[in-house]
Amino acid sequence: MHKASKVYVAGHTGLLGRALLKVLSQRGYTEIITRAHGELDLTDGNAVDEFFKNERPEYVFLAAGLTGGIIANLTYPAAFLHTNIAIQDSVFQAAQKYRAERLIFYGSSCMYPKDCPQPMKEDCMFTGGIEKTSEAYAISKIAGTIACRAYNAQYKTNRFTALVPNSMYGPYDNFELETSHVLAGLIRRFIEAMVEGRERITLWGSGAPRREFVYSEDVAEASVFAMENSDRLQNTHYNIGSGADYSVKELAEMVRKVTGYGGIIEWDAEKPDGVKRKLLDCSRFMALGWRPHTTLKEGLKITCEWFLENKVKRL
Ligand SMILES: NC(=O)c1ccc[n+]([C@@H]2O[C@H](COP(=O)([O-])OP(=O)(O)OC[C@H]3O[C@@H](n4cnc5c(N)ncnc54)[C@H](OP(=O)(O)O)[C@@H]3O)[C@@H](O)[C@H]2O)c1
């Protein structure tokens, strides 16, 4: 990928898409192509074909899709399955037809079996049953990851690569309580409780599950690194994480510290917990020379400040 290459960031208004735009611009890439969802519905195969025919992007970051936390997964499984598979299908086909140099797809740690040995290696996919609460989303991500292998095999190429980030967080995350991931949901609850002066806060689940979080800009840097080193990538998927996991209780205490909330935390154990632990083994990608840079403490501080500035003060 050269500084003047035509780079398409699909889903540029999302958590990862925004981070990709920032990192690409910091690195001096000048020919970035974007289309908002309203301008181009990526589930519409004909529209996507037309777009690729006209724009001929050389490098594609496929950061568009439907994603969300456990409640969203339980409420909208058909939408997760349909939308993600339709987007992937349209974009993969057009990228192949119009000969994009490389496409990066994003899988998810929920593709791995729920009883997988921890930390989870790439090769543990298909070695056991997956978590029921996110199975429709996980199947769409498995389909995209296998699509990379299938396109590479059928077209005798190595141009399709899946990166598998663990739970991402950062500015521009989805902070809606019904659909957010765990960390964005915690940040919102603590900051709102602070602002409204509430004495108690109720959090979902038992607080026992352990999760790994990776800052969105670290995933964006990993993605640009992968594009810049694409001749060294193998025909496989690569895990992207921060290397450390925390229980949701520990996480809540960290968010409490950053936000300065002094009230009581209660846990609603009626709400589902999901998988007990999700930590990725990232040694395959790290062997290429990439490292995450942002500690959870630093990333939390930036994200809380962003939420306060952009969501709370603007209400
Ligand atoms: N967040 C995580 O923790 C995580 C972890 C692992 C993998 N991933 C994967 O990484 C990718 C990016 O995740 P994210 O968290 O950045 O998601 P996000 O913040 O929800 O952003 C998704 C982006 O996709 C766009 N989009 C959705 N449906 C579209 C459609 N039909 N046509 C065109 N654009 C559409 C959205 O635009 P609108 O908002 O305008 O609809 C938005 O720009 C996804 O594939 C996700 O599955 C995410």
Task: Please write the tens of the pLDDT for every residue from 130-151.
Answer: 999 999 999 999 999 999 999 9
Q: What's the confidence (pLDDT) of residue 311?
A: 79
Q: What is the DSSP letter of 111?
A: G
pLDDT at 88: 98
**pTM confidence score:** 0.96
Per-residue tokens: 54 = 């006209």
Atom 12 of ligand 1: nearest residue by CA position: 63
Cα 63 to ligand 1 centre (Å): 6
Query: Residue 314 — very low, low, confident or very high, per pLDDT cuts 50/70/90?
Result: low
Decide if 137 is catalytic.
yes
> What's the rounded Cα separation, in Å, for the pair 173 and 16?
8
- How do residues 9-58 score in pLDDT, each as one tens digit? 999 999 999 999 999 999 999 999 999 999 999 999 999 999 999 999 99
pLDDT at 315 over 70: no
Cα-Cα end-to-end distance for the chain: 41
Of the residues 12, 37, 110, which should be mutated to test ligand 1's pocket, given the most ligand atoms within 8 Å of the CB?
Answer: 37
Q: What is the largest CA-CA distance in the chain?
A: 61
How many angstroms does the Cα of residue 11 sit away from the middle of ligand 1?
6
Contact call for residues 189 and 304 (beta carbons, < 8 A): no
Q: How many CB atoms lie within 10 A of CB 195?
A: 14
Rounded CA-CA distance 221/19 in Å is 9
**Residues above pLDDT 70, as percent of the chain:** 99
Percent of the chain whose predicted confidence (pLDDT) is above 90: 89
Residues 273/274/276/281 CA torsion (nearest 10 deg): -140
Q: Is residue 261 lining ligand 1, measured as CB closer than 6 Å?
A: no
Distance 62 CA to ligand 1 centre (A): 9
Q: Whose CA is nearest to atom 15 of ligand 1?
A: 15
Determine the pLDDT at residue 181: 87
pLDDT, tens digit, 9 for 90 and up, residues 74-114: 999 999 999 999 999 999 999 999 999 999 999 999 999 99
Q: Is 243 left (phi over 0), alpha (psi -120 to 50) or beta?
A: left
Joined together, the tokens standing for residue 44 give 């519409």
**What sign does the dihedral 56-59-63-65 (CA atoms) show?**
positive
Specify which residues 280 forms β-bridges with. Answer: 120
Q: What is the pLDDT of residue 283?
A: 97
The per-residue pLDDT for range 226-251, each reduced to its tens digit, is: 999 999 999 999 999 999 999 999 99
* The one catalytic residue among 59, 76, 137, 169: 137
CA of 86 to the centre of ligand 1 (A): 13
154 is written with which tokens? 């059928």
Q: How far is CA 71 from CA 190, 202, 204, in A?
A: 19, 16, 10
Helices (H) and strands (E) in the chain, counts: 10, 12
Q: 12: which residues sit within 8 A by CB, 6+ positions away?
A: 18, 20, 21, 34, 36, 63
- The pLDDT-based confidence of 312 (bands split at 50, 70, 90) is confident
- In the block, which residue shows the tokens 């936000």? 259
* Confidence check: pLDDT of 68 > 90: no
Omega of the bond leading into 171 within 30 degrees of 0 (cis): no
CB-based burial label for 249 (10 Å; 0-12, 13-18, 19+): middle
| Residue 281 contacts residue 119 (beta carbons within 8 Å) | yes
Mean of all residue pLDDT scores within the chain: 95
Rounded Cα–Cα distance for residues 115 and 57 (Å): 40
Contacts of 250 (CB under 8 A, 6+ apart): none
Mutation test residue for ligand 1: of 8, 9, 15, 186, the one with most atoms within 8 Å of CB: 15
Q: Do the strands 238-240 and 264-268 form a parallel or antiparallel pair, or are they unpaired?
A: unpaired
Q: Which domains does the chain have, with CATH numbers?
A: 7-312 (3.40.50.720)
Summarize pLDDT for 156-209 with one digit per residue, the tens: 999 999 999 999 999 999 999 888 888 999 999 999 999 899 999 999 899 999
Give the least confident one: 126-130, 227-231, 310-314: 310-314
Q: Which atom of ligand 1 is nearest to the CA of 167?
A: 3
Report which protein residue has its CA nearest ligand 1's atom 26: 64
